Structure formats: C-alpha cells, structure tokens
A = this chain, B = another copy of it.
Amino acid sequence: MQQVNLGIIGGGTVGSGVYHHLQVNGALLESRLGIKIGLRRIAVKALDEPRPYAIPESLMTTDWTTVVNDPEVHVVIELVGGTTIAKTIILTALKLGKPVITANKALISAYGEELFAAAQKHGTNLYYEASVAGGIPIIKVLREGFVGNRITHLYGIVNGTCNYILTRMKLEGSDFEPTLRDAQHLGYAEADPSLDIDGFDSEHKIGILGSLAHGIWIRPGDIHVEGIRPVGKTDIEFAGKLGYTIKLLGVVKSVEKAVKSKKAERKSIQVSVYPALIPNTHVLASVNHVFNAVFVRGDVVGDTLFYGRGAGKDATASAVLSDIADAALDLKHQTRRRIPPFVSHASDTEVLPIDDAVCRYYVRLSVIDKPGTLARIATILAASKIGISSVIQPEGHEGESVPLILMIHDAPNSAMKKALAKISKLPVVKAPPVLLRVETFD
C-alpha cells in the first residue's frame, strides 16, 4: 500500500484535533482510501502550550521549517491561522511542490489569488475545505456536487458566535451587551469580539463561497459588511411578532438588473454580510446556537441547505481529514491538480455596489407619540418612492417616546439611506433609526 506522510504546522485547537482524530480513525481512513497515512511531525508554538488533545512530545518541534523541508513530508497542513507566518509557511511548501491543506479563511480570502498562482506555478495544489463552515463540506458541494449548476443565490449563517448570541437573545428576551458578555464568559465569544460580532469573519467566508459560486475572486474589500451590534431585544421581539427571526447572513445574490448600471451588458452579484429578518417558515430560521448553515439555490438543483458545526477542534478536523483524503488520492494517482483550487470562469460578472442593491427593510424609529408623526415620516418615504408594507406602533401616551416599526417594500439601499437621514432629522425622532434588511428568499 502506498504511504503518504503528513506534516502539521500548528498544534492548537484544530491541530491537536486533527492529531487526535487521526489516531482514532486513521485505520478507518486508510481502509477507505487504500493508502497508508503517516504523521511525521507537528510544529507548535511552544511544547507546553495548552491544547484540547495531548500530542506526544516526540512528535513536536518548535521549528516549522524542519517540517516543511522534511523530504519525507509529502503533504503540509497549515493550522496556525493569521495572515503573516501562515502565508510564508504555505508559500514555502508550495515552492517545494508539496500539496498544502489549510483551514485559514482570513488568508485564503485576502491572498487566495496569490496562493493559487503559486500552487499552479509549482505544479501542486492547495486544499481549503476547513476554511469555511467547519465540518460542513460546502467547498466540495459547491465545486463538485453543484458543478453543473449556476448558483443564483447563496445565504450563509457562517459565524457561530453571532448565531449563538442572536439565538440566546431570542430565547431569553435578553439584550445584546449582557448576552455578549455571557458568551465571552462561557468561551463562545473572544475577549476582543470584533472579528465575529462586526461581521468580518463572515466576510472572509462569504467571500470564498461567493468566489467559488461565481468564478470571480471576490476580495474582502468588495463586500459590504454590517455586524450585529445594532440589533436590540426590541428588534428581535418585533421581528418575532411579524413572523421573522433575525440572523447574521452572508448574502450572495445574482441581480437581474442593476438599478442604475452604466454597464448593462455585465452580470451583477450582490455580496454582503448583514443582520437580516428571515421568515420563521424558512429552514434557515431553525438554525440555532453555534450551528452554521449555508442555503444554496442552483438553477438546476433548486433550493438546498447544508447544516452543521462551523468551528471547533472536532468539526474543523473532519474537514481537514477530507482534504487529507483528497490530497493523498491525488498524490497516489499523480493527479495533483485534478481540481484546481479556483477556476475563473465568469469575467463578465461584477460585484454590485451596496448602494445599488435592492431589498426589503425593517426600520425601528424612536418617536414622540403625537398627531402627525407618522404622516411626516410617510411623506418623506413617499417622496423617495419608498413604499411602506406595514406599520407597528404600540399604544403610548401623547408626548411619550415610543417605538415605531416600519416594514418597507423593495427599495434601493441608496434611496433608503437618504430617506432615513432625512427622517432622523425630524424633531419627533428621538434616537438614531435601526435599519435591518428583510430576506424573503423569493
């Protein structure tokens, strides 16, 4: 039986997870593949750093170069994260013609094209199933399972921290700040939560998925990003009354025609991350706690959903093991670039500026309850040709500040933003408006 040897860089959460599951399921993997899988060495930051699964000291080194350069290491697995040393490690391995496996979403999202070009130049491959949505094999599904499909819509709940916080806010009727603090206390959110909470982690993942779906490489800067900080318990409560659940969604939508496009011959896609109201009857509304899910609509397959744990030592290891299998098969059969890391196939597609994107909205205003308030607001919206589909105004006392909820028909983002700026300046409006999008999956 052929033997393929692995070298792992990174012995933390994911690295020790991969080590552990190779011990437990290595024989099963080998019998399924007909290939012997050897583990040569694991480079770690420090031999005694805390890790969820123990690694024998004899397997560890603190010098990653000895692992990458070891001629007996056939596949390099980069699990250190970040965009500096990780990039060097990957480029070094690719230059040696070694296939590389990575779980590094930030790196692939930002430097994907450069890394893919290096892999091509050196006749090898880069595998990154573990970079998006942990254990959900969404990269394989998009590139192989749906290879015959044009992906018209893709919506992802791809950040477990945000989904955990929003789920608890809904179930407990709690507000954002205390729930975040509790999530931090329980280890579901980082001490510096910005990467998750402000949508940047979702941005990396949704950029990769959008790129694979549409055949143009979408860079982080091309993506409009809003996080979940503006979502209050009042919003979750009112959304619930209207039959909706609020989720942080990554959105990749083919747009039939841009609102004011000067290049009508080009296809547009909207690529964004924002908190959105989704109907309770939609499967995505049932995706709770730390779970992730990606909803994909293909022109052939129709509507599909892929659900699972998006992070963690075990789920991410499952994706790494799948890439190990593909890399080992590709080495055995000498087909290193059977499926290249990225195939560009849609140079006529461009990312739509968020200003031109059209959707429905939920607006929460804090207004003084007095005659004429609603009329003033409705007049501003009407002047911008923005239609109101429904209004909720809880009963209050004249002169008091009360919430006013408006559900808005399809309107361009730019028009909505301008109208809202005018509305904010009305003396009866007492706080900055909360603007959330409504996705109906039509």
Give chain A's interface residues, CB within 8 Å of chain B. Answer: 21, 24-25, 28-29, 31-34, 129, 135-137, 140-141, 143-150, 215, 283, 286-287, 291, 293, 298-309, 314-315, 317-322, 324-326, 329, 333, 335, 338-339, 343, 345
Contacts and interface: CB of A to CB of B under 8 A. Distances in A.
Given A314-B302, A335-B333, A28 B345 contact: yes
A73 to B, nearest CB: 19
Closest 10 CB pairs of A and B: A148-B321, A137-B145, A304-B308, A301-B318, A135-B301, A305-B307, A31-B345, A300-B318, A333-B335, A147-B325
Contacts of A317: 148, 300
Of listed A129, A147, A339, residue having the most chain B CB within 10 A: A147
B304 A136 contact: yes
A150 B28 contact: yes
Given A147-B325, A324-B148, A325-B144, A303 B314 contact: no
Contacts of A335: 333, 335, 338
A32 B147 contact: yes
Contacts of A32: 143, 147, 215, 343, 345
Contacts of A325: 144, 147-148
A33 B24 CA distance: 35
A321 B143 CA distance: 12
Given A32-B343, A135-B304, A302-B308, A25 B150 contact: yes
Nearest to A30: B345
Contacts of A144: 137, 140, 144, 322, 325-326
Contacts of A34: 343
Contacts of A286: 283, 286
Contact of A322 (B146, B299, B315, B333): B146
A320 B129 CA distance: 23
B149 A318 contact: yes
A146 B135 CA distance: 9
A318 B136 contact: no
A137 B148 contact: no
Nearest to A320: B148
A210 to B, nearest CB: 16
Nearest to A31: B345
A70 B241 CA distance: 63
Given A150-B25, A345-B31, A298 B322 contact: no
A322 B24 contact: no
A25 B300 contact: yes
Given A29-B148, A283-B307, A305-B305, 9 more contacts: A137-B141, A140-B141, A141-B141, A145-B319, A301-B308, A301-B314, A303-B308, A307-B307, A335-B335
B333 A315 contact: no
Contacts of A129: 145
B136 A322 contact: no
B146 A318 contact: yes
Nearest to A139: B145
22 contacts: A25-B149, A25-B150, A25-B300, A28-B345, A29-B148, A32-B143, A32-B345, A135-B302, A136-B304, A140-B144, A145-B322, A148-B320, A148-B322, A283-B286, A298-B318, A300-B314, A300-B318, A302-B308, A304-B309, A305-B306, A307-B307, A333-B335
A174 B7 CA distance: 60
Nearest to A280: B286
Nearest to A140: B145
Of listed A283, A286, A304, residue having the most chain B CB within 10 A: A304
